[in-house]
Amino acid sequence: MVTRFLVVDLGSVHFGFDLEQALEVHNLPRCARVPWGPAWVRGVFNHQGRLFTVVDLARFLEVIDPAEPERVVLIDRPDLNVALAVRSVAVVESRHAVRITEVKHFMPHAAWITESLSTPNLDFQHLDLRRVIDGIEEAF
Other CB atoms closer than 10 Å to residue 3's CB: what's the count?
14
- Cα separation, 51 vs 97, in Å, equals 35
> Which residue ranges make up each domain of the chain?
4-139
Mean pLDDT of the chain: 91
pLDDT interval class at 29 (50, 70, 90) = very high
Residue 3 has pLDDT above 60, yes or no: yes
- Residue 102 is predicted with a pLDDT of 67
Convert the pLDDT of each residue in 92-123 to its tens digit: 998 888 888 765 666 677 889 988 899 888 99
The dihedral built from the CA positions of residue 118, 24, 43 and 32, taken in this order, carries a sign that is positive
Kindly report the pTM of this predicted structure. Answer: 0.92
Classify domain 4-139 at the CATH superfamily level.
Answer: CheA-289, Domain 4 (2.40.50.180)
Convert the pLDDT of each residue in 41-67 to its tens digit: 999 999 999 999 999 999 999 998 899
Please provide residue 111's backbone torsions phi and psi, each rounded to the nearest 5 degrees: -65, -15
Compute the average pLDDT of residues 69-79. Answer: 93
- Residue 105 is predicted with a pLDDT of 64
- Residue 104 is predicted with a pLDDT of 64
Please name the helix (run of DSSP H) or strand (run of DSSP E) that holds residue 58, with its range, or none.
Answer: helix 57-60
Compute the average pLDDT of residues 56-84. Answer: 93
